[in-house]
Structure 1
Amino acid sequence: MAAITGSILFYSMSCLVLLICTMLFIAKSFSVQVLNSGTKPRTPPSPPALPVIGHLHLVGSVIPKSFQNLARLYGPLMQLRLGASKTLIVSNAQVAGEVYKTHELNFCYRPEFGSSDHDTYTGSYFITAPYGLYWRFMKKLCVTQLLSTSQLGRFTHVRDQEVKNLLDSLLQCSREAKACDLSLKLTSLTNNILCRTAMSTTCDAEHIYRLVRGCLELGAKLSLGEVLGPLAKFDLFGYGRKVAKVKGELDQILETIMEEHEKELSHKTCEEEERKDMMDILLQVYKDPNAEVKLKRNDLKAFFLEILLAGTDTTSVALQWAMAEIINHPGVLNRLREEMDSMVGTRRLVKESDVPNLPYLRAVVKEVLRLHPSAPFALRQSAEDCSINGYDVKGQTRTLVNVYAIMRDPQVWPNPEEFLPERFLEGNAMEMKGQDLSYVPFGSGRRGCPGASFALTVMHSTIAALIQCFDWKVKGGTKVDTTEGSGFSVGLAKPLVCYPITRLDLFSV
């Protein structure tokens, strides 16, 4: 009993010290702000806050929707304090334009989360790198080589094979009248495509994915630890050390794959040179003494970690939402199928080269990404003080552009909560590059997602094949449960479990 009492006392005292430190930090920050400026700054509107926790009590499980609801009360630019961390939330296209265009260079930065003490890749990440020589060099590599149209074309056979592998497994389920977890199968598909495209390997794909999932889950917890402000660097909950352990395992796998590539690179034939994967390209840059930027080995491994973290779940979640919405809207499914039967026929499997002739398929994908963006937030950080929407924004301010809210804005989108692919046909066939800031599924500006073409290519061909070859029956009901999951990513709350019913057996065609 004495031990239990002592533990409770220790825990209580620890919490008290934590609360006092956080309150002192907030009070000091406020005092410095007032002293350093002769006049009181015009700060963005903010809901009433509670001591210590700030606005955390106002944030529900579906975070983008919570911020959207708060924006309806406090405006398209508001300031929230999540514990000790202050964040600006942008919720409409007009204000997003000031971040993405008017002050683009000032917001060409992304904040980092967690302590660098437990991350061996600190300083090597591309996604969070400061806007400078290294970031510009890596972005140029992505656009011109790693994720270019020609590089995607070299790996068409990989995507075709993985889609056919998926269809084969679904045909087997159909023959046995078994339900399948389509969520798992789509995640496996995207992970295999990424591993083969980036590193020409599938031997470690499943193990890599488990580690990637661990990084994502622990990373989300680590980012929530930012509410502790300066105390976050002490890694009080141990998430930083756990992430470091998972990244250490990934590092060993990546190092092994890199060594294998280095051995093979010098023996490649001219034909094999034409099929260089991302790792081959980066290793050549790494070994080039005349390269504009001298890459370190850690830079390469950090890049592949980011590719896996950013690409696997986002594309898989988008595919899951696409199938859920199509199954729940029979009219959309029938129109998709009619378009494919008309343009492709029923004697061969749809190909990537057919997509330009399938406008309704492209409209469906656009509507999926409008209603269910894979990255509901675009994260930025200001470099210097500026004015946004008439309010004063200090340098180093974290800014979240709520893409989820922008693409459901009723002032821009009629019936914004409804799934209506027709809105993207004819005169409203919006492009995906973020020029129209009311539609930004892949962000906008210099920091826009460089992998957009890859994601769209996988989505179009996979959805087309699944609709062409199968009818779908939902396990345990007539419709898919489209309840949104908790957290930042807003995937389906429940797995997408269905019975595939063979419509056309085109696997061997």
Structure 2
Amino acid sequence: MVREGFALLGAFNWSDHLSWLPKMFDPSRVEKRCADLVPRVRKLVSEIIDEHRKSLKGSERQLGDNGDFVDVLLSLEGEEKLSENDMVAVLWEMIFRGTDTTALLTEWAMAELILHPTVQSKLRAEIDSVVGSAGSIGDADVAKMPYLQAVVKETLRVHPPGPLLSWARLSTDDIQLSNGMVVPAGTTAMVNMWAITHDSSIWTNPDKFDPTRFMVSEGGVDMDVRGGDLKLAPFGAGRRVCPGKNLGLVTVSLWIARLVQSFEWGPVDSDPVDLSEVLKLSLEMKKPLSAVATV
């Protein structure tokens, strides 16, 4: 369903550009495919909500440490209480947008680690120093691994999963920018984060994968990628910042740490790593990653 949703969002729809076309003119069957997908999504998410509801025992059950996001939504009361339709929308947004970007970021990071074995070895050494070669890695351990965080930040810089931070926005008034430029009313604008993160006037050797640029102990800078610095804001900033940024960062960090801790990763001789990019709804590897894992 997620794959179908992304295909539909990226599909060319004639009526989006030629409003005078008859409504039945839909050679790609975009409208019908959307109509077929919606009830499937509603059924899936409603079943998830119902499963959690059945586990509730009246008002006696309180939200504990083991409660998940659905439990939190169901526990909301008063003005914060969500309707069934709103819960379905919130959960589908989390599933839909959280699946693609975290998986792609992990794939890009592993591709770079395979191409840079010294970086991979250095990361494994940090992991071993914190939890040991067989220790279990938890959320709290990520905060003790600055090099792991630097690897994730550098991956976000070189390969931002969402290179265009938002859908096109229409300027309703003339906007005066700090550099003297004016964005006239009626202008459609987008923020090109990929161009910013590859700008040589902002970054030294912008095409080089170098996590140490974010290591203070090695002459780098400690940069917050959650919207605090627009030189690297892959999640956006301000009121439209990605609400799942913290969850996404922790999830990807844990995945990478556990993959590197458990295996040594190398290229497939007959299928070398190719960093060519293709922009769909997100920035994907044109050629999906193939790798060899050894213990």
Same fold (TM over 0.5): yes
| TM-score, length basis structure 1 | 0.52
Check the 8 A contact 1:219/1:243 in 2, yes or no. Answer: no
Q: Distance in 2 between matches of 1:416 and 1:345?
A: 33
- Return the match for 2:205 from 407, 412, 415: 415
Contact 2:171 2:189 in 1 (8 A): no
The 3-state SS of whatever aligns with 2:55 is helix
Aligned pairs (5 A) from 1:316-395: 316-379=103-166, 381-382=169-170, 384-389=172-177, 390-395=181-186
Q: Any gaps of 5 or more consecutive residues in structure 1?
A: 1-210, 503-509
> In structure 2, how many angstroms separate the alpha carbons of the residues matched to 1:439 and 1:234?
42
Match of 2:71 in 1: 280
* 1:248 aligned counterpart, secondary structure: helix
Post-superposition offset of 1:248: 1.3
* Conservation of the 8 A alpha-carbon contact between 1:482 and 1:493: yes
Separation in structure 2 between the aligned mates of residue 232 and residue 221 of structure 1, nearest angstrom: 17
Change (3 A) 1:485 1:248: same
Whether the 8 Å contact between 1:318 and 1:369 is mirrored in structure 2 is yes
Q: Secondary structure at the match of 1:473?
A: strand
Contact 1:409 1:416 in 2 (8 A): yes
1:378–1:402 CA contact under 8 A, matched in 2: yes
1:250 aligns with 2:38: no
1:262 aligns with 2:57: no
* TM superposition shift of 1:362: 0.9
Cα distance in 2 between the residues matched to 1:348 and 1:495: 30
Q: Shift of residue 391 of structure 1?
A: 2.9
Change in Cα spacing, 1:453 to 1:228, as seen in structure 2 (3 Å) is same
1:434 pairs, out of 210, 219, 227, with 227
Deviations 1:384-406 (A, max 9, x none): 212244334325x5421111111
> Conserved in 2, the CA contact under 8 Å of 1:385 and 1:393?
yes
Aligned partners of 2:91 and 2:30: how far apart in 1? 22
Q: Deviations over 1:246-304 (max 9, x none)?
A: 1211112222332333333234765664433222322343xx4x315x64322211111
Aligned mates of 2:188, 2:140 — CA distance in 1: 42
- Asked whether the 8 Å contact 2:199–2:206 carries over to 1, the reply is yes
Stretches of structure 2 that go unaligned for 5 or more consecutive residues are: none
Tell whether 2:261 aligns with 1:468. Answer: yes
From 17, 20, 24, the counterpart of 1:228: 17
SS of 1:499's partner is strand
What amino acid is aligned across from residue 228 of structure 1 in structure 2?
A: H
Q: What do the CA deviations read for 1:113-132 (whole angstroms, capped 9, x no partner)?
A: xxxxxxxxxxxxxxxxxxxx
1:213 maps onto 2:6 in alignment: no
Shift of 1:382: 4.0
Contact 1:337–1:468 under 8 Å retained in 2: yes
1:291 aligned partner: 79
Measured in 1, the distance between the counterparts of 2:210 and 2:203 equals 11
- For residues 226 and 434 of structure 1, the distance between their equivalents in structure 2, rounded to whole angstroms, comes to 35
After superposing the two structures, state which structure 1 stretch, 429-438 or 443-452, moved more: 429-438
1:311–1:439 distance in 2 versus 1, CA, 3 Å = same
Letter in 2 for 1:241: K
Q: What amino acid is the match of 1:276?
A: G
Number of equivalenced pairs = 286
Q: Identity, % of aligned pairs?
A: 35
Superposition CA RMSD, Å: 2.5
Relative contact order higher in (CA < 8 Å, ≥ 6 apart): 1
- Pair 1:314–1:235, CA change in 2 (3 A): farther
SS in 1 for 2:191: strand
Check whether the contact 1:442–1:448 (CA below 8 A) recurs between aligned residues: yes
Distance in 2 between residues matched to 1:282 and 1:347, nearest whole Å: 36
Indicate conservation of the 8 Å contact 2:265/2:292, yes or no: yes
**2:151/2:211 contact within 8 Å kept:** yes
